[in-house]
Amino acid sequence: MKIFQVALGILAAIGGFVDIGDLVFNSAAGATFGYQLLWVVVIGVIGIIVYSEMCGRIAAISKKAVFDVVRERVGFKAGLVTLIAAQVVNLMTLAAEVGGVAICLRLLSGLPYRWLILVAVFGLGAVVWITSFDWIERIFGYGGLCMLVFAVAAIKLKPDWGAVAHGFVPHLETKDTLLYFYFAVGLLGAAMTPYEVYFYSSGGIEEEWTEKDLGLNRANAIIGYGLGGFLSFALMIVGGALFLPHGIGPETLGSISLGAQVPLGEIGLLLALIGILFAVGGASIDTLFSGAYNFAQFFGWEWGRYRSPAGAPRFTLGWMVLLVLALGIVMTGVDPVQLTEYAVIFSVVALPLTYLPILLVANDRAYMGRYVNGRLANVLGGIYLVVILAVSLSAIPLMLLTNVGQG
């Protein structure tokens, strides 16, 4: 039973970790710098594991999700700033993911994009309304596993494995230093997007974790995000082995899917499209829930999918309003891929406001009792906070200086 529960967590993490932002940044980083930036994915994955484990532990022990903690630890005013920043980024990400779902459906069906945006929004709304939390994890997690086709594609493309290994060591072999750092910041932002911890900690409460589930929490965080990171490596290797030598900058989900078609043919393409559809669909639901969780936790409303919609009416209204707003944004014709690039960079700015309260509460015996952070978690948490702060200060200047990564 425990193994099954871990498997569910792993599947949910894969579906949630590899969203449209990861797809775009990892493929584009590979196409621009080859394997040079693989080390950044490692840093991002360790960071999200450290903080997810922490907020999962907080959820299991104190029964508080991230925004309960933010409100209690930083006060109403600073908490409100965090909430606004988080919700702006969440909404941008949600709109980008919904657009991504519509693009995938269009690549599969050939039907008009705007109609498919409506199909995506109503489909996601129906899934959230009808389906239980467990089944949402299963559907999108299992579907997202098709993304493993990119790992097979990466191997089939026969990359220079020596160069791949060298990519795990930080180094700089380019004259375009600013662009290199822009991608490094984007990759870190994509790996540590705040909605992942909002969703993860609230999910722990939805699943009624207790101190008995701390091992499960650790396994979910390490294996789940580890596998997510593995897929990110695969996407970057495909970018470096296929797109870079051909002089292609993959800027669309169709281009990214070609990365599986070239080495694996039609079946590779089909699996890639299905995998992307479920991964991006899963991320849509993660961001949708995260937005509603954040509002409800901050303002003290009833929340959770384990309650009926009538049992948590403001939470239900919250996700519905967010879905309608996302629909409005995507319907303007904004390019979801471009939107996700902005969302990832702006999410970096919101990172310290999210992660600092988690670190503080994980060290607070009043909340955590004997389950406060150990030395390793504190050292890593502290180092990552410094990294996050440096990255958040440089994100927007780098975006402006590199013309959003266009050089």
Partner 1 sequence: MRQALLLFTLLAFVLAGCNGGTVDQHALDNDSESIDSLACEGALLAGEIANTASLTNFSRVHAGELYTRAANFEDALSTRPTTPGIEKAVRAEAKKAGRIAALFDQLAADPSNPALAAKLEPQFTKQGGCT
Where do contacts with partner 1 occur on this chain (CB under 8 A)?
77, 80-81, 84-85, 88, 106-110, 245-252, 254-255, 257-258, 261-262, 265-266, 269-270, 273, 342, 346, 349, 396, 399-400, 403-404, 406-407
**209 or 355, CB closer to partner 1?**
355
CB of 390 within 8 A of CB of 87? no
Least Cβ distance, residue 343 to partner 1 (angstroms): 10
Question: What single-letter DSSP state applies at residue 307?
Answer: S
Least Cβ distance, residue 206 to partner 1 (angstroms): 28
Query: Using only C-alpha atoms, what is the Rg of the chain?
Result: 20
**84 or 390, CB closer to partner 1?**
84
Determine whether 233 is exposed, middle or buried from the number of CB atoms within 10 Å of its CB (0-12, 13-18, 19+): buried
DSSP SS3 for 333: coil
Distance in Å from the first CA to the final CA of the chain = 51
CA 349 distance to own-chain centroid: 15
What is the secondary structure of 21-48 as a DSSP string?
HHHHHHHHHHHHHTTTTHHHHHHHHHHH
**212 or 246, CB closer to partner 1?**
246
Least Cβ distance, residue 157 to partner 1 (angstroms): 13
Least Cβ distance, residue 10 to partner 1 (angstroms): 29
**32 or 202, CB closer to partner 1?**
32
What is the secondary structure of 221-240 as a DSSP string?
IIIIHHHHHHHHHHHHHHII
Q: What are phi and psi of 162, to 5 degrees?
A: -65, -45
CB of 66 within 8 A of CB of 55? yes
**26 or 261, CB closer to partner 1?**
261
Least Cβ distance, residue 240 to partner 1 (angstroms): 15
Least Cβ distance, residue 13 to partner 1 (angstroms): 28
Least Cβ distance, residue 392 to partner 1 (angstroms): 11
**254 or 309, CB closer to partner 1?**
254
Extract the runs of DSSP E, i.e. beta strands, from 318-380: none
Give the closest residue to 170 by CA, choosing from 46, 48, 47, 43. 43
**62 or 93, CB closer to partner 1?**
93
CA 296 distance to own-chain centroid: 21
